[in-house]
Amino acid sequence: MKTQARFTAIAALPLLAAAPLAPAQAQAPKVDPVAVVHVVGHYDNAVGTSDAASHGAIHADLLANRPVMRTGELLEFVPGMIVTQHSGDGKANQYFLRGFNLDHGTDFATHVDGMPVNMRTHAHGQGYSDMNFLIPELVRRIDYGKGGYFAADGDFSSAGSARFRLADKLAQGTAAVTIGGNDYRRALLADSFGLGGGTLLYGLEAVRNNGPWEVPERTRKYSATLRYSAGTAGDGYSVTAMAYSNRWTATDQIPLRAVESGQLGRYGSLDASDGGDTSRHSLSYAMRKRFGERLFEADAYVLRSSLDLFSNFTYLLADPDRGDQFQQSERRGVAGASASVSWPGKAGGVELRHKAGVQLRYDRLSPVGLYNTARRERTGVVREDRVKEGSAGFHYENVAQWLPTLRSVAGLRYDTYRFNVDSGIEGNSGKARDGVFSPKLSLILGPWNKTEYFVNFGKGFHSNDARGATQTRLPDGGSSRPVTPLAPTRGMELGVRTEIVPGLQSSLSLWRLKLSSELVFIGDAGETEASRASRRSGIEWNNHYMAAPWLLFDLDLALSRARYSEHDPAGDRVPGSLSKVLSFGATVNGNGPWYGAVNLRHFGPRPLVEDNSVRSAPTTLASARIGYKITPRTRLTLDVFNLFNRQASDIDYYYPSRLRGEAAEGVGDRHFHPVEPRSLRLTLTHNF
């Protein structure tokens, strides 16, 4: 039961009723001593498992024990992360972490088996990270980190990163059917078997959902994964093909005044034609090969994706006759590769480990556009561009074991970007390039009395939209200056991790992060907005406790403070920045045929404007699961979301909009997307 306790992991929302992996798959793979220096244990946040107190891993056992409502909420297993939605289930989620409103992924990097998920120069938002293509039951492990303290971390990783590892083999096949309120339906089929000296794994998923909205969502989601692997974790390879498509009707955020006046229901919509469709197809290759004491690792991938997104956030403000709906559209091709080599060394009696690598990526968008529409029919072109964006990142990292209780991790990274924009707006076509050095340093002391200490420092960056790097004219005809292509960041952290109390694993982190600029391309407006420099700081406390062999508790608290560091009469608050996150979870398992979980997640109010005069309300939600093992191979699981049927917001914004009959200049108001009311989902799972 000690191993099971180590799988309690970070509190968040629960996961779909997944088939547990085989014990060998559920645990972390055996670590190649050439690849890393520190000892890797079986639990995600145990002493000796990472080089920062805020780094760790989540394993399949935890993912199988707690339900999530949407696939993107897998990232809520990262302590301190909040995942919400302000549109339909086909759109990327909204992410919050460390005082950031990360929008759809900016400053948080996500990878799946070495393949990046974040999309740069995206039609809707820079760093757009849509996780809906994943099948949760095929995820073996999530390695997470907060802060860009290590040389392998590049673009979008200043606030943190998550690397999803897919299973090579399942312990047994799984067939599952889920039914729920609001016409929710899900079917899953997954299995693996030996083939030609390796293992072939497949997974198929289909989801339909109308949601609680007055305009049914009509989600139609299909995902497929086919993976062939051979060899071992230290000397083997895998080839993975993934396909995903989704279409939906969206109920976006709505104005509070319309609900309070009775003009609109809480789950109503002001434009029934909002929504979209998207697709993603990828082929990736990963390998590890040992040459004596050296370890060579390589990844390569190609993918094609598309998005057509129709939104109307201001209703009748710009066009009182046809409405303000617009379409964000893109057709994208991506190719990339990475390679690294690790080897041991020794200097002056000090044991060393070296790692050097390169990361390459090329994006081609043809086209990426913003259009005025009415009921999904185009009425005008705001802008349409064709973009080629390439990057190369080079990194080196050295680990030195100075004493049995002292090691250092020093690294240096250099990234270079090239942008080529062919714009439909005169004066916005052109080429640009930029480069940035990012030094990193970490010190790890201990352990003493089952306690270790960390000092971490790192410089990083996020790339900005390529269209902003060459832009001289706004879509409305106004003038503009090109923005800095790469915006540097600088962060540091002090941390401690302990297991001094029997059964309890606890970590504490104090962190600080500075951004030279929060420049982003505003996809909703079709222009680049250069915001001021900012600074953030905070404290995080994570706890995982096994009270009994069958009872596990998690408690995580994160407090943060975000401010603009340059004075402006408008104020110094960063709109949307999250200051407080609290999550609690209890899991019961292994005590007879019954099992279950209860989870609570709270995120506090946020400033919606710079002077803090308008704030969002806090949101507190609870979820629960109860399950029964009918036979050793068949089980029935009931998940309840929004257990207490709270009326709260998933997201809040403040901006002007216009309803019919209102003044031409519109009305400034809080716009919100409500959380879904209490809903139940019943899953029947059979293993074969």
State the pLDDT confidence band at 522, using cuts at 50, 70 and 90: low
Q: What is the pLDDT of residue 562?
A: 95
Q: Which is higher by pLDDT, 120 or 62?
A: 120
Tell me phi and psi for residue 37, to 5 degrees: -100, -45
Residue 240 is encoded by which pair of tokens?
A: 């993975």
pTM: 0.90
Q: Kind of pairing, strands 160-166 and 108-112?
A: parallel
Q: Does pLDDT of 28 surpass 90?
A: no
Give per-residue pLDDT as tens, 638-649. 999 999 999 999
User: 476-485: long-range contacts (C-beta < 8 A, 24 or more apart)?
Assistant: 480/527, 480/528, 482/432, 483/519, 483/528, 483/530, 484/434, 484/516, 484/517, 484/519, 485/417, 485/419, 485/432, 485/433, 485/434
State the pLDDT confidence band at 10, using cuts at 50, 70 and 90: very low
* Residue tagged 């909703």 (tokens): 524
Phi-psi region of 576 (alpha: psi -120 to 50; beta: other; left: phi over 0): left
Q: What is the pLDDT of residue 241?
A: 98
Q: Does pLDDT of 479 surpass 70?
A: yes
Class of domain 2-687: mainly beta
Give per-residue pLDDT as tens, 108-140. 999 999 999 999 999 998 999 999 999 999 999
Give per-residue pLDDT as tens, 663-683. 999 999 999 999 999 999 999
Q: Does pLDDT of 656 surpass 70?
A: yes
Give per-residue pLDDT as tens, 579-604. 999 999 999 987 889 999 999 999 99
Residue 650 is encoded by which pair of tokens?
A: 């998933």
Torsion of CA 571, 577, 579, 583, to 10 degrees: 170
Q: What is the pLDDT of residue 520?
A: 52
State the pLDDT confidence band at 256, using cuts at 50, 70 and 90: very high
Q: Kind of pairing, strands 504-515 and 198-209?
A: unpaired
Give per-residue pLDDT as tens, 658-667. 999 999 999 9
Q: Does pLDDT of 525 surpass 60?
A: no
Pick from 238, 235, 225: which is nearest to 198 by CA?
238
User: Which amino acid appears at position 414 of this protein?
Assistant: Y
Domain ranges of the chain: 2-687
Cβ atoms within 10 A of the Cβ of 457, count?
17
Q: Which is higher by pLDDT, 546 or 11?
A: 546
Return the exposure string of 310-324: e unless at least 16 CB atoms fall within 10 Å of the residue's CB, then b: bbbbbbbbebeeebb
Q: Does pLDDT of 3 surpass 80?
A: no
Task: Quote the CA–CA distance of 464 and 391 in Å, as a whole number.
Answer: 13
DSSP state of 77: G
Flag the least confident range among 190-204, 367-381, 524-538.
524-538
Residue 475 is encoded by which pair of tokens?
A: 């879509």
CA atoms within 13 A on the CB side of 95: 34
Give per-residue pLDDT as tens, 73-115. 999 999 999 999 988 899 999 999 999 998 898 899 999 999 9
Task: Quote the CA–CA distance of 80 and 509 in Å, as a whole number.
Answer: 12
Q: Does pLDDT of 4 surpass 80?
A: no
